[in-house]
Amino acid sequence: MAEVIWGLATSHVPSIGAAMDHKKTEDPYWKPLFDGYAPAREWMAEHRPDVAVIVYNDHANSIGLDLVPTFGIGTAESYDVADEGWGRRAVPRVVGAPELSEHLVVELMDDSFDIATFHQLDVDHGLTVPLSVYCPEPGDAWPCAVVPILVNVIQYPQPTAARCYALGQALGRAIRSFPKDIRVAVFGTGGMSHQLSGARAGLINTEFDRMFLQAIETEPEKLAALTREDYIRDAGTEGIELIMWLVMRGALSDSIRRVHDTYHVPASNTAAALALFEDLGASGAVSR
Ligand code: DHB
Ligand code: FE
């Protein structure tokens, strides 16, 4: 059977990808952020999954605002990197895992999640930047296949944090019921606090972020109980992306170990963070 081996929470700020693409990671502005990633990247390189299930949001690059599904899943053989207005990032196209996708669609439907299905999808920075955070130098191909899971965080009314956490729990059950012996990592992307426009543009709330970074491990129910208005007030209009971390957290078992985390302000307009959790599963065994 398939197993979930780890969960990664990471910001997806586009300029983090651009810094890697344009070899600026040693520049004084970027070095502290990338130094903070290093221990997680080392550990993930030693614990490669076969498939990454990446919970992310499209930013009106691939999916127009006239039709925004609350939850979606990609079922394609592969996904092109989206052109967000300045050409496609020079990173490999994303290879899908259609058999696992189809399994997840059916299991989630049967578990009362009426998820939209994308047979064709271009993936924007919400997905490609987390892949680069995981694997900075993919060469010609990413080291794993990908199942994209989409969450609407950009158009009111976004799903509740509680519903996202429940989706994650259903997703974890669905992954573990896949009858092939594959290793799966789950990514929760976006956040932390940021607001890109309006009177509060530039908002950063370190106190809220620090609370969230701790509670995502130990008290996810507390975060699931917050309303969308709580997220937008405390973390900003784009900070509500943090509800996608709860999907990842829900997919992990009760027994997890924090491998590494890092928090850095600012990356562009955002409080950027990474948190990596090993899923110890039913056995509770730690792998090093
Ligand atoms: C930024 C952050 C985001 O989450 C995003 O989707 C786009 C831009 C930023 O901080 O620049
Ligand atoms: Fe975003």
Atom of ligand 1 nearest to the CA of 125: 6
Whether the per-residue pLDDT at 194 is higher than 70: the answer is yes
Find, among 142, 127, 161, 110, the residue nearest to 59 by Cα: 127
Find, among 216, 281, 265, the residue nearest to 13 by Cα: 265
With a threshold of 0.85, does the pTM exceed it? yes
- Say if ligand 1 is within 6 A of residue 14 CB: yes
For ligand 1, atom 7, name the residue with the nearest CA. 13
Alpha-helix residue ranges (DSSP H) falling in the chain: 14-21, 31-46, 98-110, 125-134, 161-176, 206-218, 220-224, 228-235, 243-251
Alpha-helix residue ranges (DSSP H) falling in 135-242: 161-176, 206-218, 220-224, 228-235
Whether the per-residue pLDDT at 66 is higher than 70: the answer is yes
Q: Is 194 a catalytic residue?
A: yes
Q: Which of 12, 103, 194, 260 is labelled catalytic?
A: 194
Ligand nearest to the CA of 268: 1
pLDDT of residue 266: 97
Find, among 278, 270, 277, 276, the residue nearest to 17 by Cα: 270
Ligand 1 centroid to residue 84 C-alpha, Å: 13
- Say if ligand 1 is within 6 A of residue 10 CB: no
Atom of ligand 1 nearest to the CA of 238: 4
Q: Which of 12, 59, 103, 125 is labelled catalytic?
A: 125
pLDDT of residue 106: 98
Ligand 1 centroid to residue 203 C-alpha, Å: 12
pLDDT tier, 286 (very low <50, low <70, confident <90, very high otherwise): low
144/158 Cα distance (integer angstroms)? 30
For ligand 1, atom 6, name the residue with the nearest CA. 13
- Say if ligand 1 is within 6 A of residue 12 CB: yes
pLDDT, the chain, mean: 97
Q: Which CATH architecture has domain 3-274?
A: 3-Layer(aba) Sandwich (3.40)
Atom of ligand 1 nearest to the CA of 266: 10
Atom of ligand 1 nearest to the CA of 269: 10
Atom of ligand 1 nearest to the CA of 15: 11
Ligand nearest to the CA of 272: 1
Which of 133, 238, 240 maximizes ligand 1 atoms within 8 Å of its Cβ, making it the mutation to test the pocket?
Answer: 238
Cβ pair 105, 148 in contact under 8 A = no
pLDDT tens column, 150-163: 999 999 999 999 99
pLDDT of residue 287: 59
pLDDT tens column, 165-193: 999 999 999 999 999 999 999 999 999 99
Burial zone of 24 (CB within 10 Å; 0-12 exposed, 13-18 middle, 19+ buried):
middle
Dig out the tokens for 265 from the structure. 């302000």
Residue 71 DSSP code: E
Ligand nearest to the CA of 57: 2
Find, among 10, 86, 55, the residue nearest to 148 by Cα: 55
Count of positions (residues) in the chain: 288
Whether the per-residue pLDDT at 284 is higher than 70: the answer is no
pLDDT of residue 283: 63
- Say if ligand 1 is within 6 A of residue 59 CB: yes
pLDDT of residue 98: 98
103/87 Cα distance (integer angstroms)? 34
pLDDT tens column, 117-138: 999 999 999 999 999 999 999 9
Average pLDDT over residues 22-29: 98
- Say if ligand 1 is within 6 A of residue 161 CB: no
Cβ pair 267, 33 in contact under 8 A = yes
